[in-house]
Structure 1
Amino acid sequence: MQISTVTIPVSDQDAALDFYTRALGMRVRTDNPFPMGRWLSVAPSDGGPSLLLASWFPEMAPIGGLILTAPDLDETAKLLAEYGTAAEGPSDEPWGRQLLFSDPFGNGYVVSQE
């Protein structure tokens, strides 16, 4: 069994698409009409599970603790800052280097050094 998709609650799919592709460098995996809006998912450019940017769950609380990896946390922090997103770190922790941030919809992420 593998994880294929993680649902990320967002209130504005266009704004979410902009953030996840521009600030995080993900690519669009699907963008199709859906009875409740559109089925919009993004994924890292090297593959892996996709993030479903779902606006049809207004009662769904933001998620927290999803862990991403990046080759250069300083560059990731710079891209987030250019997009206007505050980040904590990067910091060196006993378990490795990490960066913390939240997307514009309150979903919290940890980015660890690859």
Structure 2
Amino acid sequence: MNITHASFVTLPVGDQGRALRFYTDVLGFETIADRDMPQGRWLQVAPAGAQTVFTLSGPGMGGFEPGSARGIMLVTTDVDADCVRLAQAGVSVQGPDELPWGRMASFADPDGNGLMLLTEKEGF
């Protein structure tokens, strides 16, 4: 196998504009692509410098139900500070909790897609 990385992860959303505002304004992601395609709007976001991007897939694109993605792990250098920032933006955050592999918290985007934040434990 010669796989080097994942190109994109699909996040099914009900309102692409609302999702774009959440991922750029709240999480600080950059807009990578925003194009009108025959089957709908092609919208991708990512943290600065990331190899893997998130496709914010609107209704009817891909056949996924909005909010059905789970287990999306975002690595951060300071989970505690990010949790405070999310809470200040009105996002309900569970944690952070101390785990053998680091400090981790969970939250959902406006559509209910499940996301996690992790500050990895050094040497784990």
The normalised TM-score by structure 1 is 0.91
Report the count of equivalent residues: 114
Residue 39 (structure 1) aligned to one of 42, 50, 55: 42
Question: How far 1:57 sits from its partner (Å)?
Answer: 3.6
Runs of at least 5 residues in structure 2 that lack an aligned partner in the other structure: none
Question: How far 1:30 sits from its partner (Å)?
Answer: 0.4
Q: 2:31 is matched with which residue?
A: 28
State the distance in 2 between where 1:3 and 1:36 align.
23
Residue 76 (structure 1) aligned to one of 68, 79, 82: 82
Aligned-pair identity (%):
39
Runs of at least 5 residues in structure 1 that lack an aligned partner in the other structure: none
State the distance in 2 between where 1:104 and 1:20 align.
10
Matched-pair contact (CA < 8 Å) for 1:36–1:56 = no
Residue 10 (structure 1) aligned to one of 8, 13, 38: 13
Question: How far 1:82 sits from its partner (Å)?
Answer: 2.2
Structure 1 runs (4+) deviating above 6 angstroms are: none
Q: Secondary structure at the match of 2:49?
A: coil
Q: Secondary structure at the match of 1:100?
A: strand
Question: How far 1:46 sits from its partner (Å)?
Answer: 2.1
**Higher Cα radius of gyration:** 2
Q: CA deviation digits over 1:9-64, x for unaligned, max 9?
A: 00001100000011111100001111132111001112220000010347524110
Matched-pair contact (CA < 8 Å) for 1:24–1:79 = no
Name the Cα RMSD after superposition.
1.5
Q: Counterpart of 2:43 in structure 1: which amino acid?
A: L
